[in-house]
């Protein structure tokens, strides 16, 4: 799995480094000749020969090469920071609402899960592994040229169960090698209330149904859409908010679908060196429930902070910058 952008950045940095090296060589030759001038003036022939040597060397230091060489320190710094420390990303969809909104610009810590080769993404130094609840950026397994962002739900060896009616998770930690744990991981759902987000639906000329999200006050009604339910989900000592179309654990729905519950529950056993991920917008996220697990080698890093937000709706131009979105990602 080769990162094309990183490869191009490495090549450009290398080329500018060559020009930077030539410039340094020219400077050394120039300084050397300046010192020799004093001693060579007595012999005009020797002095002229030295002058010609200097002219030949300095000819390589054209304005173009001077400009290219000046970029080397900047490109090298960008390469080091982007490849090994932090990398910025923009959120293009609503799959991680309400944690991340469309237009959020986030910073991803890259070294938290290992120091990787910037081109091949092979781990050079292992510094840690993703934990349940971490929000991670990764290369989409079906198309590694795309970056996805989701929350880690299951670690290697976990047994993950999801009920599509109650919208609730059950996680049995370290279920590998057929070792069955009697008690699942404690998971609670609290603060269930109408959210500030309404999902609206429309169709295009071809009859394809599309949806978008509008943020409004929870008291406002919109007959053209569905107001999503916001819930605080807690596990692993961490809390985060999720969105669903119906309240998690709705007892009325449980009674209605109780006879068919076996067909409405899905479960997965997470393989070694792979992770089960889900979006916080549970009913509007394409994630491990649909396309499978995320190999550890695909993981880019951990999303840690929102540093800017440009307010926009899907398919529209930006409206404004929202400074109140700046902060740590939960």
Sign of CA dihedral 246, 247, 248, 250: negative
Residue 323 has pLDDT above 90, yes or no: no
- Judge contact between 321 and 310, C-beta under 8 A: yes
Please compute the mean of the pLDDT values over residues 106-131 and round it to a whole number. 88
Secondary structure letter of residue 270 according to DSSP = P
pTM for the full model? 0.80
Q: Confirm whether 150 is a catalytic residue.
A: yes
Higher pLDDT, 164 or 256: 164
Report d(CA 24, CA 212) in Å as an integer: 56
Residue 72, Cα to own-chain centre: how many angstroms?
27
Which pLDDT tens digit goes with each residue over 124-158? Answer: 888 899 999 999 999 999 999 999 999 999 999 99
Q: 193 and 217 in contact (C-beta within 8 Å)?
A: no
Catalytic position from the list 150, 159, 167, 302 = 150
Mean pLDDT across the stretch 203-209?
70
Residues 215-266 pLDDT 10s: 887 666 665 788 999 999 999 889 999 999 888 866 555 554 455 455 567 8
Q: What is the spatial distance between Cα 198 and Cα 220, in angstroms, rounded to a whole number?
A: 10
How many Å apart are CA 150 and CA 104, to the nearest integer? Answer: 14
Kindly name the residue from 6, 95, 195, 288 that is annotated as catalytic: 95
Determine the pLDDT at residue 161.
94
pLDDT at 202: 78
Q: Which of 21-35, 39-53, 68-82, 291-305 has the highest mean pLDDT?
A: 291-305
- Stretch 179-205: mean pLDDT, rounded? 84
- Strand bridging mode 188-203 / 225-235: antiparallel
> Higher confidence at residue 64 or residue 46?
64
Residue 198 three-state SS:
strand
pLDDT higher than threshold 80 for residue 101: yes
pLDDT confidence of residue 270: 95
Residue 35: band (very low, low, confident or very high) from pLDDT cuts 50, 70, 90: low
Q: Please state, for a pLDDT cut of 90, what percent of the chain lies above it.
A: 40
Q: What is the pLDDT of residue 233?
A: 96
Diameter over CA atoms, the chain: 107
The two tokens of residue 8 are: 């191009």
The predicted structure's pLDDT at residue 15? 83
Confidence check: pLDDT of 272 > 60: yes
Place of tokens 């020797």: 46
Q: Residue 327 pLDDT > 70, yes or no?
A: yes
Q: Which of 151, 161, 146, 170 is nearest to 96 (CA)?
A: 151
Tokens of 200: 């609206």
E strand spans, the chain: 86-90, 104-109, 115-116, 123-125, 135-139, 147-154, 159-163, 168-172, 188-203, 209-215, 225-235, 238-244, 265-269, 274-278, 294-295, 299-311, 320-321, 327-328
Q: What is the mean pLDDT of residues 284-296?
A: 95
């Amino acid at each position: 799995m080769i990162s094309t952008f990183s490869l191009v950045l490495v090549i450009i940095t290398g080329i500018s480094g060559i020009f930077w090296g030539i410039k340094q060589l020219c400077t050394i030759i120039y300084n050397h000749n300046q010192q020799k001038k004093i001693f060579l003036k007595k012999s005009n022939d020797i002095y002229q020969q030295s002058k010609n040597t200097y002219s030949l060397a300095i000819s390589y230091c054209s304005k173009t090469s001077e400009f290219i060489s000046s970029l080397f320190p900047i490109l090298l710094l960008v390469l080091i920071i982007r490849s090994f420390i932090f990398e910025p990303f923009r959120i293009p969809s609503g799959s991680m609402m309400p944690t991340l909104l469309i237009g959020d610009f986030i910073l991803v810590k890259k070294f938290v899960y290992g120091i990787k080769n910037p081109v091949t993404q092979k781990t050079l130094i292992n510094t840690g592994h993703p934990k349940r609840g971490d929000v991670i950026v990764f290369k989409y397994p079906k198309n590694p040229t795309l970056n996805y962002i989701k929350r880690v739900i299951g670690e290697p060896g976990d047994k993950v169960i999801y009920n599509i009616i109650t919208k609730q998770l059950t996680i049995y930690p370290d279920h590998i090698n057929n070792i069955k744990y009697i008690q699942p991981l404690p998971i609670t759902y609290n603060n269930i209330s109408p959210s500030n987000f309404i999902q609206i639906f429309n169709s295009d000329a071809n009859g394809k149904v599309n949806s978008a999200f509008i943020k409004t006050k929870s008291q406002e009604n919109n007959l053209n859409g569905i107001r999503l339910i916001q819930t605080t989900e807690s596990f692993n000592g961490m809390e985060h908010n999720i969105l669903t179309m119906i309240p998690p654990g709705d007892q009325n729905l449980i009674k209605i679908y109780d006879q068919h519950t076996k067909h409405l529950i899905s479960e997965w056993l997470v393989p070694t060196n792979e992770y089960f991920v889900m979006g916080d917008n549970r009913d509007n996220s394409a994630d491990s429930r649909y396309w499978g697990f995320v190999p550890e080698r695909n993981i880019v890093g951990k999303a840690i902070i929102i540093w800017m937000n440009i307010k926009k709706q899907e398919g529209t131009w930006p409206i404004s910058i929202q400074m109140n979105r700046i902060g740590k990602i939960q």
